[in-house]
């Protein structure tokens, strides 16, 4: 998936789900939906797509001694999504830096 396809997919997704490309959407997406939208599976957990800031973030719940919290495992600007996804996949495959 090229850079412009990913940008178009994200903008269209926000427009369809919220009615505006400048809105924020929060929720979970299946692996199939993530691959269609971003070109890769980012992970289980909550995804936040912010149209105004043009960012995509992924959060997972973590337990601490005093309760639960959410940690960000992925953050990317829309125009850098392909590079960040490639870096994430390289890390997952153990080929980062080779």
Interval 36-75: pLDDT, tens: 998 888 888 899 999 999 999 999 887 766 767 777 788 8
Is the Cβ–Cβ distance between 27 and 16 less than 8 Å? Answer: no
pLDDT band at 97 (very low <50, low <70, confident <90, very high): low
**pLDDT for 26:** 96
Average pLDDT over residues 76-88: 79
Instruction: Give residue-wise pLDDT tens across range 6-39.
Output: 889 999 999 999 999 999 999 999 999 998 998 8
**pLDDT for 22:** 94
Max CA pair span of the chain: 43
């Amino acid at each position: 998936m090229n850079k412009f396809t990913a940008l178009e997919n994200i903008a269209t997704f926000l427009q369809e789900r919220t009615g505006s490309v400048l809105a924020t959407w929060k929720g979970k997406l299946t692996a199939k939906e993530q691959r269609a939208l971003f070109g890769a599976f980012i992970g289980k957990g909550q995804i936040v797509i912010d149209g105004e800031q043009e960012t995509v973030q992924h959060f997972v719940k973590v337990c601490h001694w005093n309760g639960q919290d959410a940690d960000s495992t992925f953050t990317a600007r829309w125009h850098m999504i392909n590079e960040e996804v490639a870096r994430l996949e390289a890390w997952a495959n153990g080929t980062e830096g080779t």
